[in-house]
Amino acid sequence: MVLWILRRALLSLLVLFGVSVLIFLATQALPGDPAVQILGHTATPEQLTELRKQLGLDQSLVDQYVTWLGNVLTGSLGNSLTSPQSVSSLLIDRGLASLALVGASALIAIPLAVLLGSLGAMRRDRPSDHATQGIFLVLTALPEFVIGLGLLILLGTTVFTVLPPVALIPSGGAAFTHPRELALPVMTLVLAVVPYLTRLQRAAMIDVLESDYVQMARLKGLPERTVVRRHALRNSLVPVVQGSALTLIYLTGGIVAIEYLFAYPGLGSALTTAVAGRDLPVVQAIVLLLASVYVVVNLVADLLTVLLVPRLRTRRG
């Protein structure tokens, strides 16, 4: 099994490597002169040459990549082109804020979805189940910013003015101490994620509840509590792990539009600002960070799956 872990880790590294190459190519190797794109056509040739040197555009592609990668790995990510901060401090500040957002959303959404999904499976085909399924079908389709808008109108502005419509808080750790500002973005993300995850959990739970071993457990005379807890829930944990991984990944994408909508000072809004301002070092750094989240989350999910499924880690005796 150790061999398997090593192999998986190696694969993840490979994917990360591919990701870094892709980011590098996208920002530094595309047709069109980045220097011109950034400084505009009114820049003098000297300014352009200077910027090119600063961005390392005068070297060969491979050299550039190596230099760039080296910088990334050692943490010297350069400075933002449009704001006075260094890229690393920007990442940390905004990263913490986004972490608070994603963390809070996941902590609420995942247990909620597991609960709703399991209940839905146990009460399937009853009117309450049909109704919830219908509502969720509608919610999954909506873009998350539309959900956010709905909540904004409902709770932030027009209908009830309960929560602040704009999260004007300083970035960094401040997010952890301003729960009211977090409320609307978190609620939006939770509403965006819960329907999909609930449906996954419900389907997995139904599979388990209709399995032969659950029927056998009932025929042995086990109390329903034990059947659900020891036999059903235990075996539906694997889909929960997979679903949680999916949720976290989805959330890292969802924060882009949501942070913009609520003016929340996180990585997502930093990315949109950077893209609008052609702030390449910031764009590269944030994208790399977000893509790495995917790789790490998947690795952890696979590890947990192997731990949970005895069949995958033992051989036929």
Site for other proteins in 49-88 (CB under 8 A): none
CB of 177 to other proteins, least distance (A): 27
- Contact call for residue 306 and other proteins (CB under 8 A): no
Candidate segments 26-34, 66-74, 94-102, 239-247, binder of other proteins by CB under 8 A:
26-34
- Contact call for residue 24 and other proteins (CB under 8 A): no
116 has which bridge partners? Answer: none
Candidate segments 98-106, 115-123, 173-181, 249-257, binder of other proteins by CB under 8 A:
249-257
Residues 106-145 that bind other proteins (CB under 8 A): 134, 137-138, 140-145
- Contact call for residue 241 and other proteins (CB under 8 A): no
User: Toward other proteins, which CB reaches closer, 144 or 181?
Assistant: 144
CB of 119 to other proteins, least distance (A): 17
- Contact call for residue 14 and other proteins (CB under 8 A): yes
- Contact call for residue 40 and other proteins (CB under 8 A): no
* List 47, 128, 177, 226, residue binding other proteins (CB under 8 A): 226
- Contact call for residue 43 and other proteins (CB under 8 A): no
HEC readout, the chain: CHHHHHHHHHHHHHHHHHHHHHHHHHHHCCCCCHHHHHHCCCCCHHHHHHHHHHHCCCCCHHHHHHHHHHHHHHCCCCECCCCCCEHHHHHHHHHHHHHHHHHHHHHHHHHHHHHHHHHHHHCCCCHHHHHHHHHHHHHHHCCHHHHHHHHHHHHHCCCCCCCCCCCCCCCHHHHHHCHHHHHHHHHHHHHHHHHHHHHHHHHHHHHHHCCHHHHHHHHCCCCHHHHHHHHHHHHCHHHHHHHHHHHHHHHHHHHHHHHHHHCCCCHHHHHHHHHHCCCHHHHHHHHHHHHHHHHHHHHHHHHHHHHHCHHHHCCCC
CB of 95 to other proteins, least distance (A): 14
User: Toward other proteins, which CB reaches closer, 114 or 256?
Assistant: 256
3-state secondary structure of 167: coil
3-state secondary structure of 47: helix
* List 53, 158, 160, 179, residue binding other proteins (CB under 8 A): 158
Q: Report the C-alpha gap between 104 and 21 in whole angstroms.
A: 32
* List 7, 9, 10, 18, residue binding other proteins (CB under 8 A): 18
Q: How many binding residues for other proteins (CB under 8 A)?
A: 82
- Contact call for residue 304 and other proteins (CB under 8 A): no
* List 186, 291, 299, 301, residue binding other proteins (CB under 8 A): 291
* List 23, 77, 104, 189, residue binding other proteins (CB under 8 A): 23
3-state secondary structure of 300: helix
- Contact call for residue 41 and other proteins (CB under 8 A): no
Half-sphere exposure in the Cβ direction for 232 (13 Å, CA): 29
What would the x/- binding string for other proteins be over residues 257 to 286, using CB under 8 A? x--xx---------xx-xxx-x-x--x--x
* List 119, 146, 241, 304, residue binding other proteins (CB under 8 A): 146
